Amino acid sequence: MMNDNISAALLEEMSVGFPSWPFEALDSASSPGDADQPKSVQANAGMTERACIAAAQRDPAAFAALYQQYYARVYRYLRVRLQSEEDAADLTQQVFLKALDALPRYRPGSAPFSAWLFAIARNALADRYRRRPPTLSLEAAGDLRTEQEMEASLLQRESLDQLKSLINQLKPDARDLLALRFAAGLTTPEIAATLGKRPDAVRKSLSRLLQSLKEQYHAAH
């Protein structure tokens, strides 16, 4: 089915380097009494996400675990919405700095951490869009690396260019929905929490969007 093919194409994962924790200065900025708190990703190994959040709220250096867990997903989300790798990497760092600053005010029961983090990412992206026009870039397609077997035809340049053209004609909200689902890899409930919508509404929107892409793709061939 073409819906599945489009989904597979969008699910290709970017080959991104995994940066080291960039906020080393925080390691020496712990408050008195924090000596026994986790200081690194290694120290946080095996902790639940909620435990990692609580640790980071006590000691900012422990935020490294959350940074490592979510960096690639935030970067991929921003990369397909921005023109260059440099812009995406720069904005990704800004997102995590904002998240670190806002973390003391985060309450786990209010929303999933992923939804809270991607709300920050979307706001940062909106701020960037006020200065530069938005785009959904598939220029990175040449740098993508698949994690699953895909039909060879979908990897042809012509098909990727056609898909890029169709997506760039979508409204900003539709492009954002695709980026959250296929670049960031958020689940339907996570997207719903990020956007403040019901899961069923998000699921229906995705289904209609993929169906529309399928029909337009066929119409062009």
Q: Quickly tell me which residue has 């120290």 as its tokens.
A: 43
Please write the tens of the pLDDT for every residue from 93-145.
999 999 999 999 999 888 899 999 999 999 999 998 877 655 555 554 444 44
pTM of the full predicted structure? 0.69
Name which of 219, 131, 119 is nearest 169 in CA terms.
219
First vs last Cα of the chain: how many Å apart? Answer: 15
Contact in structure between 38 and 55 (CB atoms under 8 Å): yes
Beta bridge partners of 145: 13
- Average pLDDT of the residues of the chain: 74
Q: What is the pLDDT of residue 196?
A: 93
Q: Where are the beta strands (DSSP E) in the chain?
A: 13-14, 144-145
Q: Which of 30-44, 81-95, 160-174, 202-216 has the lowest mean pLDDT?
A: 30-44
Per DSSP, the three-state class of 13 is strand
- Residue pLDDT, tens place only, 28-76: 333 333 333 333 333 344 578 999 999 999 999 999 999 999 999 999 9
Report, as an integer, the average pLDDT of 197-206: 95
